[in-house]
């Protein structure tokens, strides 16, 4: 599903070069639930952005569902993001002027799905995350936990095989956090591949596989039951 080979990322700020990822290789199979942990600044988000085709590697390759991302044009990458990947961000990243329903419809708009089908799907996924009674609320009229569930519904709207979540519980209280994690597990059972960045070791422990990153390198990769 996701194949990363010798991935490096170097940031240049002024005259100093900062290598954030050092020859990282990682293979994630369909329907895995992978938790990525590591200290702050170790390069977790950088790796995630690379998997999500939001950023381009300095060297090495990322292959998503048999598509080598380095050979794709920007529009093709946009299509991958639209059809293969659902993002859940720490800061929700909802569009503040659109209500819950419209936010969830967004990926389908860019896919060119017609209005009826779009609405139907958006309602379905908002119901799935338990927000069928908040569909016409603006993000500012929702609690943090509810906003993040809208973001989950949006990530799901395009029915992507891969869900990427970068510290999705970071801005939530522990109860909402737990609910969110259980939603992710349910999605995993439904067949989505989940990659989850977290600082919470308890959450990480529930994952089938835990990848530990330190200083831009993978220092351990353990599967549940190992």
Binding site for ligand ATP (CB under 6 A): 11, 13, 18, 20, 38, 40-46
Piece of 19-27, 31-39, 108-116, 172-180 that binds other proteins (CB under 8 A) = 108-116
State yes or no: residue 168 binds other proteins (CB under 8 A). no
Site for other proteins (CB under 8 A): which residue of 81, 121, 134, 149? 81
Instruction: Give the separation between CA 76 and CA 27, rounded to whole angstroms.
Output: 22
Instruction: Provide the 3-class DSSP secondary structure of residue 143.
Output: coil
Which stretches of 52-142 are DSSP H helices?
74-83, 100-111, 115-128
Q: Please say which residue, 95 or 219, places its beta carbon nearer to other proteins.
A: 95
Distances (CA, A) of 43 to 105, 161, 169: 31, 24, 18
Burial of 1 (0-12, 13-18, 19+ CB in 10 A): middle
Site for Mg ion (CB under 5 A): which residue of 42, 45, 69, 148? 45
- The residue of the chain with the least Cβ separation from Mg ion equals 45
Q: Please, how many CA atoms are within 13 Å of residue 138, restricted to the half-sphere of its CB?
A: 6
Q: Please say which residue, 186 or 214, places its beta carbon nearer to ligand ATP.
A: 214
Task: Report, in Å, the least distance between residue 180 CB and ligand ATP.
Answer: 17
Q: Nearest Cα to 168, choosing from 103, 89, 76?
A: 89
Task: Report, in Å, the least distance between residue 193 CB and other proteins.
Answer: 18
Site for other proteins (CB under 8 A): which residue of 58, 83, 90, 206? 83
Q: Which stretches of the chain bind Mg ion, using CB under 5 A?
A: 45
């Amino acid at each position: 599903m996701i194949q990363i080979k010798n991935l490096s990322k170097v940031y240049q700020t002024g005259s100093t070069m900062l290598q954030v990822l050092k020859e990282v290789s990682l293979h994630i199979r369909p329907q895995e639930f992978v938790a990525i942990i590591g200290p702050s600044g170790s390069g977790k988000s950088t790796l995630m952005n690379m998997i999500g085709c939001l950023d381009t590697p300095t060297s090495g390759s990322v292959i998503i569902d048999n598509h080598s991302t380095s050979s794709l044009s920007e529009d093709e990458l946009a299509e991958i993001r639209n059809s293969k990947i659902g993002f859940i961000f720490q800061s929700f990243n909802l569009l503040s002027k659109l209500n819950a329903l419209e936010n969830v419809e967004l990926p389908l708009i860019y896919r060119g799905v017609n209005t009826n089908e779009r609405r139907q799907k958006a309602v379905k996924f908002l119901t799935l995350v338990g927000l069928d009674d908040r569909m016409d609320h603006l993000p500012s009229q929702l609690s943090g936990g509810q906003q993040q569930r809208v973001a989950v519904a949006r990530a799901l709207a395009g029915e992507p095989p891969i869900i990427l979540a970068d510290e999705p519980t970071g801005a939530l209280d522990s109860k909402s956090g737990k609910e969110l994690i259980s939603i992710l597990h349910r999605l995993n059972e439904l067949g989505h591949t989940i990659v989850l960045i977290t600082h919470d070791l308890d959450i990480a422990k529930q994952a089938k596989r835990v990848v530990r990153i330190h200083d831009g390198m993978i220092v351990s990769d353990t599967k549940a039951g190992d």
